[in-house]
Amino acid sequence: MNTIFSTADGLDDMTDDDTQPTEQPGRPSRSLSLRAKGIIAFILMVAYSLLIGVSTETQRQGLLRVVDELEMAHRTEAQLLEINTSMARTLFAVNMSFSDDDLASSAIRSMIEVEASLSLLEAIQNRHPTVLMLSGKLHALVRDLAQSPTLSTLDVARSTLNELIIELDGVTKNAHAHRLTLLDQYRENYDRITLSSLAMLVIGLILVGAVTAIFFSRLTWDIRKLEAHAHGIVNGNRDAPLPVTRNDELGTLMHAVNRMQQDLRERERHIERARLEQFHREKMVAVGSLAAQLAHEINNPIAAITGVASAMSQVQQSQQCPNHGVSCHPGLILEQARRISAITRQIADFTRPQAQRPELLNLNELVSNTCAFVSYDRRFRRIAMTTELDGEMPALRAIGDHLTQVLMNLLFNAADALEDMPADHPARILVRTQALEHEALVEITDNGAGADADTLVKVFDEYFTTKPAGKGTGLGLSLSRELIEDAGGSLTLDSEPGKGATARIRLPLRPNGQTDN
């Protein structure tokens, strides 16, 4: 029989606990599109240009005020130079009057010169109190000279003219210094406007260049990542989806590619699941066909052996047996022959094709038959497998072939976990059923090495397996959980390092509120 059941060893290829975690790519959040970003960038550039323009215009207005003040200072200085020239000419005329024999006529000429110079002082005297005072004094001296021209009055007028010329010379120097100050201020303002405008222009160009370079560099990098990811999908990559860090059109495209990857992963997973289910059915049919043929071939010699053993037993029981009292054990032959018949019949019954739609099942019988079937596998030779079946377990509605496949996967996983245990460690597997209020519980517990928390997190991931290469593909537990969830139940695995593992199957007794007829 080991020859027969060695053909079923391939069933453990479907018991690997592996799935690649599938990340549900999130929907793109509402954000700015590339077109909106371009418009905003254009608006910011226009705003920055306006800022430069406003700043430049403000500084230009200040520069124009300095130019106006400079022009006024220039006119004032020119006016003061004209006044100084007139005052010098007037002083010269007064001095000439002292040497003129005709004092009256020379005084009149001096008065005319003074009056002419005083008329020029009217434009500035209000801004200079000393000039105003000296101008008033000269007016009084002119009136005195007009009434009685004397040398003393003329001398006082000359002294006053000297004071006025000295005062005007100081005013002129101050005006010249003020004009030079304004000129320096104009140059400083001009240089500041030029430098600030150039600096803002350079800063603006640098900012625009940097933002543009960063934007297009990131855009190019994301496009290349998307391209590489798309090539990976075409080449069969079904790992984690591409991280999406954008919320624009390219981010939407990334989400679409991730969704495509997820859809392909789901489609391929369903195809693989259908392939494994078909493989399981075909293998069971092949095993059943081989078992039926072997049973047919074995039944004939078994029937003959059974007949001879029965005849021997009947003869032994009579006193006429020549070997009466000798231990020939015909009953043992009958027992072993009946055992062989029961085994062949059990295998044939177990491997008989089952319905592929939900039907009422005797869960205890299905568990018992599955355990009996897998016990002939060579991996269970040194394993003590016991069952504790709840006698109050009601019938439940499920697909029997799916439950058989899941139980075989879990039992083979438990056997593989016990394979490397030391010889002095008794390997045990306990299969227990229990009827709860609304669900049926099936537990498969082994006393193997167990698994740590990190492994438990990933046992149901596709293509994750702790088995060595060539012993599995890492789809067993993932497929098993899907089959149980399709039946409305759940499959969980609890384990601690050094304390073995327990797989729990929970199945609803009345799925979807249905009642059994």
CB 397 within 8 A of CB 516: yes
Give the DSSP per-residue string, 254-318.
HHHHHHHHHHHHHHHHHHHHHHHHHHHHHHHHHHHHHHHHHHHHHHHHHHHHHHHHHHHHHHHHS
Q: What is the pLDDT of residue 443?
A: 92
Q: Give residues with Cβ within 8 angstroms of 39, minimum separation 6.
A: none
Distance between CA 242 and CA 480 in Å, rounded? 28
Q: What is the CA radius of gyration of the chain?
A: 58
Q: Where are the domains of the chain?
A: 34-220, 284-513
> Helix axis angle, 34-98 relative to 151-234, nearest 10°?
170
**443-445-450-454 Cα dihedral, nearest 10 degrees:** 0
Q: What is the pLDDT of residue 440?
A: 92
For 232, the 3-state DSSP assignment is helix
b/e map 378-398, b = 16+ CB within 10 Å:
ebbeebebeeebbeebeebbb
CB 83 within 8 A of CB 164: no
> E strands along 425-489, which residues?
427-435, 439-446
Distance between CA 447 and CA 499 in Å, rounded? 6
Helix (H) or strand (E) holding 505: strand 501-508
CA triple 399-400-403, angle to 5 deg: 95
For 284-513, CATH gives 3.30.565.10
pLDDT in tens, the chain (517 residues): 343 343 334 334 433 443 333 344 444 445 677 788 788 888 988 888 888 888 888 888 888 888 888 888 888 888 888 888 888 888 887 777 777 666 677 777 777 777 777 777 777 777 778 777 877 877 787 777 777 777 787 788 778 888 888 888 888 888 889 888 888 888 888 888 888 888 888 888 898 888 888 888 888 888 888 888 888 888 877 777 888 878 778 888 888 888 888 888 778 777 776 776 666 666 666 666 666 666 656 666 666 666 666 766 666 666 555 555 555 556 666 666 666 666 666 665 555 556 567 888 888 988 988 888 788 778 888 888 899 998 888 988 888 878 888 888 889 888 888 887 777 778 889 999 999 888 999 999 988 888 877 777 777 776 667 665 556 556 677 788 888 888 889 998 888 887 888 999 999 986 444 444 4
Report how far apart, in Å, the C-alpha atoms of 230 and of each of 224, 250, 489 are. 10, 13, 36
Three-state SS string across 91-138, please? Answer: HHHHHHHHCCCCHHHHHHHHHHHHHHHHHHHCCCHHHCHHHHHHHHHH
Distance between CA 31 and CA 249 in Å, rounded? 10
Global pTM value: 0.45
Tracing tokens 């207005």 back to the chain, one arrives at 61
